[in-house]
Chains A and B, each alone.
Chain A
Amino acid sequence: MAELNTNDGGGKKGSGKVRSKKQNSKVDLTAMVDLAFLLITFFMLTTTLSKPQAMDLGLPDKEEDKTKEKDIKVDQRRTMTIILGDDNKIEWFHGLLESPEAGGKPTQTTHGREGIRKEILKRVESVPQVTGNKDKGLIVIIKPTKESTYRNLVDILDEMAICSVPTYAIVNDFSPEEKALADKLNKK
């Protein structure tokens, strides 16, 4: 297909032999193929990456009338509170702030594999054993402070997905003690 016929029919002039020229009749396709594959790669990557990913987020109904809101009692052994501070800092505790669970004192940590994920994974495993009921797993309460960024929120929500935390909620109310803790975190 890519060979070009360079034989020009011969039979010119009467001066003797018809010589077929021995030229290289093949076209070098290497460069063309190179270019084609480069472009393929480019288009392949851009088409799959251009469609943005999305993360689903469901929030509870907002009750306008505060008096209708009911407090739901939750086992303190199941709750882990994560406070998001500025500069990508995290403060977390397990249980109540006044009386944290064993090994769940307020601790400062970072995002990512080495930081908060270890703690969450540990508790995703341990909480159902402590409560003795598979359906009563860990509940993570995410409390972003005003100084935290959107990246922090998405990171921690992503962490929930990675660790498959059964229940989590974003809460914007701080108790006075938690407020103090958050202020300390943001000042440091």
Chain B
Amino acid sequence: MAKVKMSKKATSIDMTAMCDVAFLLLTFFILTATAKNPEPLQVETPNSTVQSKLPEENLAIITIGGKDKVFYGIKGKEVRKKTLELMGAKYGIQFTENEIQEFSLIDEFGVPIEGLKQLIAMKGSDRNKQGVQPGIPHDTIDDNKNNQLRDWIYTSRQANIDVQNEQLNFAIKGDAEEQYPRIKQVMDELQKQKVNSFNLVTGLRGKNY
């Protein structure tokens, strides 16, 4: 019988190239990834199949969740600064240059304007603790006194036009379990100011759910 000769092949593959590519990609993704900012109000958005992205600019996000708490966030530092100036003038609260600068770094907030100074004075990590921010007052019954959400919406629209010379878009980010009337209240608020078109922030799911 003839001997079957096993050819002696190398058992290990040269992984150098693969390693190179992998690390190249890794570097790319790390650099392009944007760090996710911690949110003061965690909400679980409902899912939809619609695949359109939120705009990056000229956007204000109204977050509703945690039993009728409303938080407000504006994109763009300059717009934030201008909004705070206008709000301060409206409510007769003087904000210092430092406070305005610090406020422009806050993505999202949910305190009455009277408590905004304390919030600005806090450290960033303390701001997002549970229970620190009680939400923006948005009582529609006592409309003129206690509806600060309306004023935030109004002044930020004004600020956006002043700064960017463009209309501000609105997105509603509601918690999936939030009751419909609470969402409707915010929608009504927008509609009162003739904002009839806005985005609903959702997660993504397949069509066959």
Residues of chain A touching chain B, judged by Cβ–Cβ distance below 8 Å, are: 1-2, 26, 28-30, 32-33, 36-37, 39-40, 43-44, 46-47, 49-62, 84, 112-113, 144-155, 157-158, 161-162, 172
Contact (Cβ within 8 A) B48 A36? no
Contact (Cβ within 8 A) B54 A52? yes
CA distance in complex: A152, B179 (Å): 10
Instruction: Give the nearest-CB partner of A155 in chain B.
Output: B46
Given contacts A43-B29, A150-B46, A150-B183, 16 further A-B contacts (CB under 8 A): A26-B12, A33-B18, A40-B26, A47-B32, A53-B203, A53-B204, A54-B171, A54-B200, A55-B50, A57-B198, A144-B184, A149-B177, A150-B176, A150-B180, A154-B48, A158-B50
Q: How many residues of B contact A (CB 8 A)?
A: 56
CA distance in complex: A185, B187 (Å): 25
| Interface presence of B90 (CB below 8 A) | no
| Interface presence of B22 (CB below 8 A) | yes
23 A-B pairs with C-beta separation under 8 A: A32-B19, A36-B19, A43-B33, A46-B33, A50-B36, A53-B50, A53-B204, A54-B54, A58-B196, A60-B196, A62-B194, A112-B209, A113-B209, A144-B180, A145-B180, A149-B176, A149-B180, A150-B175, A150-B178, A150-B180, A151-B177, A153-B183, A154-B46
- Choose from B22, B191, B202, B208 the contact partner of A52 (Cβ within 8 Å): B202
Q: What 1/0 mask marks residues of chain B from 1 to 37 whose CB sits below 8 Å from any chain A CB? A: 0000000000010111011001101100110111010
Contact (Cβ within 8 A) B196 A52? no
The total of interchain contacts (Cβ-Cβ below 8 angstroms) comes to: 159
Instruction: Give the nearest-CB partner of A26 in chain B.
Output: B12
Residues of chain B touching chain A, judged by Cβ–Cβ distance below 8 Å, are: 12, 14-16, 18-19, 22-23, 25-26, 29-30, 32-34, 36, 45-54, 64, 171, 173-184, 187, 191-192, 194, 196-204, 207-209
What are the residues of chain A within 8 A of B47 when measuring CB–CB? 154, 158
- Choose from A2, A53, A172 the contact partner of B16 (Cβ within 8 Å): A2
Q: Nearest Cβ distance between residue A38 and chain B, in whole angstroms?
A: 10
CA distance in complex: A57, B53 (Å): 13
Instruction: Give the nearest-CB partner of B187 in chain A.
Output: A59
What are the residues of chain B within 8 A of A2 when measuring CB–CB? 14-16, 19
